Chains A and B, each alone.
Chain A
Amino acid sequence: MSVLSDPRGYWDELTATERGVTAALGLVVFGLVLALLTGALGASYFLFLFGLAGMYALLSLGLNSQWGFTGLINFSVAAFFGLGAYGAALMTAGNSPIAGGLNPVVGLLVGLVLAAVVAVAIGIPTLRLRADYLAIATLGLAEVIRLIVLNERQWTNGSQGLRGIPTFFEDWPVLGTFTEVMPAIEVELVPGSPVVFGTSFWQQSLNVALLLIFLGSAFLILRRAQRSPWGRLLRTIRSDEDLAKALGKNTYSYKMQSFVLGSVIMALAGVFYAHLNLFVNPGDLDPITTFYVWVAVILGGSGSNRGALLGGFVVVAIREGSRFVGDIAWLPVGSAPLRLLAIGLLIILVMRFRPQGILPPQRELIWPSAVDNAAPSRPDRGVRDAKGGGSDD
């Protein structure tokens, strides 16, 4: 059922939380548009933030396909993100010690292949481990990767980082000169504060377009994969790996496939980041990124791709919000600890009050045609609200 053809029916089908989230999103979008039009928020900065949020959403999609679907606790998100960013940067950056100045498409491929190879290499030893050991091992291996990137100067330029990364579309026929061709448009809605859409605005629009391509393809591929028998098997592994084994499935192989798929998507986010920020350094592999993405996934709802998208945007809101609050002069706290506190409290509160997340998976895992809309969702009697094993009254 489409939103456009039958908005009323669509709204009626949503759960209470979905309605709440939709309404809240509507309010936020309305507020942002208002801020944009009045000039309170710079248009290119807004698009930059949007790009950042989309990047976190992409990372969350990657983690969600590992944790949400297969139950793999991967604490090396930042490492795969960094591998993607460094793969792209090493091929394209001006001061790359290996092979600078290549086409960004080469960088994209190198970043993804690098991440896939490392994912296999990390997966071979760790994917047989118990869940909590997997968490510790991946965190340790991520730290090893960070130390290598930091210290092997002859390959990565060390703590200097890589600069002079071109934008993704620089060598492309039309898009390469897009930003120069487009005129600067000036809009004055509120007298005295004109809003200018200049070169940087068009540049950020291109970035956002690239992001939407990455995000859209990742989302569609994941949705298709997760509704397939392959996806069902991954969810079986998550809920009961022994059962999957008893059904004759090679769970290790499936876990590996899921791990590599998720890691490649994280690397895709890294490639985007390299061309958004135009500078990468070993600080981008800091484990805090891993935990930002974890917050996004558990807040959005483990196993829900929609939730991962939502979580990505919330994380950027926290990051930028804490910067804003930290700038308030009379508050004696910096933005860094404030951000840490917000993330920490959010993890605790979500785990305490809503461990399934804001938007837990509803029908998105089922083929739409397989849903029998006429059937009642549950029998009208003989069903307890609580799960089994509760009290007997």
Chain B
Amino acid sequence: MSLIEYAANGVVYSSIIVLGSIGLSLIYSIAGFANFAHGDTLTVGAYAALVSFGVVGGVGFSVLGLPMGFFLALLVGIAVAAVVAIVTEKLVYEPLDIGSIGLLITSIGVAFVYRALIQMGFGADAIRYDVGAVRPIEALLPYGIRLTQHDVAIVISAAVLVTGLHVLLQHTDLGRKMRAMADNPDLARASGIRTYRIKLWSWIIGAGLAGAGGVFLGLFNQLLPRMGFNLLLVIFAAVILGGIGSVYGAMLGGFLIGMVVQLTPILSDVGIPIGIEYANAVAFLIMVAVLLVRPTGIAGEAVGGEGV
């Protein structure tokens, strides 16, 4: 395979990582802890879309090889992931009276509960969305790029969602409040922002985007109860590379880490003996290196002692 083909795959994979990392970064900065259940929120979204797609089926006309019913299922996946996150926040995190480390440990428990319930409902075997297989787009083949219409749909949908988030953050009241709170929660509260409400909104937005990421991951590969947990560390690597607390940093970090993971095979092509099986390991090592050299990441600002 050529560099350009790896890069094309990288763009698709990056779109998924970006969707996951925005939510993780948002929750890290606004709710104040590293949410280890975020990966399994992706899984929740993916399986919710599976169920709803099974109900609505292939209704409507087809766009990019996907029936309208699939986009409906995508919305359901986003909504269910957001609702599950809100319920978890109300039921589990809110009554807790422990620091961020305690919340981190609790979120591992939450991750296990999500995964266990999904595995009980759907079994441990891989499932695919019933959208039919598509061939690579003919027009791109002469350039050495093998992309399916589904891949294009993933990239475009992710771009739409990310643009929507950008508009929300920059041009709405809610977005300004969220940025203020991510920057300095105490100051935000002192300025009269209802921080609790903003926190709930960031759970909704973060988990919703994660749900969308999960649906696309299921479309890109397949659905597995472990799919989200396996991706969690890659998403963490992206968030840390981009700089915790910065949504735009998370987008950049997600893009870079996604590309690194998909471009790892290049290394053995040029003679460095690191095979594709170490793709994730490369991402984790980058993460550790970033933590050492520049813990604030690419887009991070001042070095904060406590909280970000």
Contacts and interface: CB of A to CB of B under 8 A. Distances in A.
A106 to B, nearest CB: 30
Contacts of B292: 125, 128-129
B280 A143 contact: yes
Nearest to A291: B108
Given A139-B233, A140-B288, A337 B116 contact: yes
B124 interface: yes
Interface in B108-131: 108-113, 115-117, 119-120, 124
A133 B241 CA distance: 12
Contacts of A328: none
A141 interface: yes
Contact of B95 (A126, A133, A341, A352): A352
B28 to A, nearest CB: 9
Interface stretch (B59-67, B97-105, B159-167, B188-196): B97-105
B233 A131 contact: no
A348 B37 CA distance: 12
A326 to B, nearest CB: 11
A255 to B, nearest CB: 15
Interface in A336-390: 336-338, 340-341, 343-348, 351-352, 355
B136 to A, nearest CB: 29
Contacts of A346: 109
Contacts of A355: 98, 102
B105 A294 contact: yes
A347 B108 contact: yes
B278 A147 contact: yes
Contacts of A133: 240, 291, 295
B272 to A, nearest CB: 15
Interface string A64-88: 0000000001000000000000000
A24 interface: no
Contact of B109 (A73, A135, A337, A351): A351
Q: Quick one: which of A73, A143, A351 has the most chain B CB within 10 A? A: A351
A132 B281 contact: no
Contacts of B102: 351, 355
Interface in A253-306: 291, 294, 298
Interface in B217-252: 225, 233, 236-237, 240
Contacts of A61: none
A131 to B, nearest CB: 6
Interface string A43-72: 000000000000000000000000000000
Nearest to A295: B109
A343 B98 contact: no
B54 interface: no
B290 to A, nearest CB: 10
B262 to A, nearest CB: 17
B30 to A, nearest CB: 15
A151 interface: yes
B4 interface: no
A125 B119 CA distance: 37
Contacts of B291: 125-126, 129, 133, 137
B92 interface: yes
A147 B281 contact: yes
Contacts of B198: none
Interface of A: 73, 125-126, 128-133, 135-137, 139-141, 143-144, 147-148, 150-151, 291, 294, 298, 333-334, 336-338, 340-341, 343-348, 351-352, 355
11 contacts: A126-B291, A133-B291, A140-B233, A140-B285, A143-B233, A336-B119, A337-B119, A337-B124, A340-B119, A348-B106, A352-B95
